[in-house]
Amino acid sequence: MPKLVTIFGGAGFLGRYIARRMAKEGWRVRVAVRRPNEALHVRPYGVVGQVEPVFCNIRDDASVRAAMDGADAVVNCVGTFDKSGKNNFDAVHVDGAGRIARIATELGVSQMTHISAIGADAGSSSLYAKTKARGEEAVLAHKPDAIILRPSVLFGTEDQFFNRFSTICRYSMILPLVGGNTKFQPVYVDDVAKAAAQACLGQVDAGIYELGGPDVRTFRGLMEDMLEIIHRRRLIVNMPFWLGTIIAPISEVVGKLSLGLVPAQITSDQVRSLKTDNVVSEGAQGFEALGITPTAYELILPEYLWRFRPTGQFDAIKDSAKNLRTQ
**Tens-digit pLDDT profile for residues 201-216:** 999 999 999 999 999 9
Would you give the end-to-end CA distance of the chain in angstroms?
70
- % residues pLDDT > 70 (the chain): 97
Q: What mean pLDDT is reported for the chain?
A: 93
Q: Quick one: average pLDDT of 211-224?
A: 97
CA triplet 287, 222, 88: central angle to 5 degrees? 70
Q: What is the pLDDT of residues 29-50, one digit of tens each?
A: 999 999 999 999 999 999 999 9
Provide the pLDDT confidence category of residue 312 given band limits of 50, 70 and 90. Answer: confident
Concatenated DSSP letters of 74-142: EEE-------SSTT-HIIIIIIIHHHHHHHHHHHT-SEEEEE--TT--TT-S-HHHHHHHHHHHHHHHH
Q: Quick one: average pLDDT of 73-83?
A: 92
pLDDT at 291 over 60: yes
Q: Quick one: average pLDDT of 272-280?
A: 95
| pLDDT value of residue 326 | 54
Report how far residue 95's alpha carbon sits from residue 165's, in angstroms, rounded to the nearest whole number: 32
Q: How far, in whole angstroms, is CA 268 from its chain's centroid?
A: 20
Contact between 285 and 210 (Cβ < 8 Å):
yes
Report how far residue 257's alpha carbon sits from residue 220's, in angstroms, rounded to the nearest whole number: 31
Provide the pLDDT confidence category of residue 258 given band limits of 50, 70 and 90. Answer: confident
Q: Quick one: average pLDDT of 154-176?
A: 96
Could you tell me how many residues make up the chain? 327
Q: Quick one: average pLDDT of 288-317?
A: 92
Task: Name the CATH architecture for the domain at 4-159+184-215+277-295.
Answer: 3-Layer(aba) Sandwich (3.40)
So where are the chain's domains?
Answer: 4-159+184-215+277-295
Q: Taking the CA atoms of 131, 135, 137 and 141 in sequence, report the sign of the dihedral they define.
A: positive
Q: Quick one: average pLDDT of 291-312?
A: 95
